[in-house]
Chains A and B, each alone.
Chain A
Amino acid sequence: MGDMVKGNIAMAEAAIRAGMHMYAGYPITPSSEIMEYMSWRAQEAGRQYIQAESELGAMYMVYGAASVGSRVLTASSGLGISLKQEGVSYMQAADYPCVMISVCRYGDGLGSLQSGQTDYLRETRGGGNGDYRNIVLSPSSVQEAVDLVYLAFDLSEKYRNIVVILTEGALGQMMEDCEYPDYKEVPFYDWAFDGKHTNPQPSQMTMDLYERAQRRNALRAEITENEQRWEAVGVEDAEYVFFAYGIPGRIALGIVDDARKRGEKLGVVRAISLWPFPQKAFDAINKDVKGFVTIETADDGQMVEDVALFAKKKGFGDVPCYTITSPPGVPKTVDVLKKFEAIKAGEVKEVF
């Protein structure tokens, strides 16, 4: 039996277990526990920890740390992640790996202190200048958060690509039982700077950018093929299929679980990878499905755009896509159901 652990603490400990060499960050609600925990835990475990002057500084510390081949983590929230984007783009340009935990707070600008899913598009579209994608993984439980953080370092290294753990304030703050994986000892990666000029790294100023683009496209295709992750229930005969991730993903699973006990044919795809979007999940969906419905803790719905895009790609182009959005915090099942009833009654216009 595991013990009750806060999501933020669990993710920090998972990073230690995964062999993280360095953490750099700047505190911000609702992600601060990650940094507070690291401030003593990293030292105890013999790792580096730096409280940076800003989110920007923290990300450039991560950039430097990755250049010498270390496993490196940063975490922030909302506008803090926005500040990091310049460095994220630099790291992608250099093909450097890192793991970045984004504990989403609701809203733009300063946002609120409350939980939300309003940063979906930023994380899944790259976030900074240039043509790149971060691998984005989103847990629904504390245990899954631990497992995904642990996995993220390996994926990041394998593809030399940033992995974002996109979670919500609510998951960072909630407690649930979880078991930690074993400690891994990972040496510094051997492709990195060692001071001996063993691995000359091409300068962006002089490299063949077209060649690089082709290489990156091939990598993107490989990630898209290999790294789609999701949990699906009841989609084979569903009249409506929910798409959701994070806490709303759990809520959608609960709604479907309940509905199917009553004999109502609902299905759910709980996305775990947000980029690559789990488009393969469509392959199992009932061809006569009447509608797709995203459940999102956001103003306007963001994931619904991906659902519509991939529905079209997968031959569901005529199926209407709806979104059920909810205010900051954790959506109440009863409110989601009320909105879903309105969708079924034809009172709500589809988004796409």
Chain B
Amino acid sequence: MSKVIVKKEQCKQCGYCVKHCPKQAISFSADFNSSGFKYAVVDDSKCIACGMCYTTCPDGVFEIRKPD
């Protein structure tokens, strides 16, 4: 299970998460969500669940989880 849940329909492609991710784990999708934005995609292999994406996101796209 991934450490970050991405609500892709809420993403507005502002790019704050992409810029502030310390592991460069976030990129934009190739396709569009229903609002017409390329949405954030998290590379689980690079993600350390630090939550920077959550912190910088204005639109509540991210939910961070950690293994129990």
On whether A and B touch (CB less than 8 Å), the answer reads no
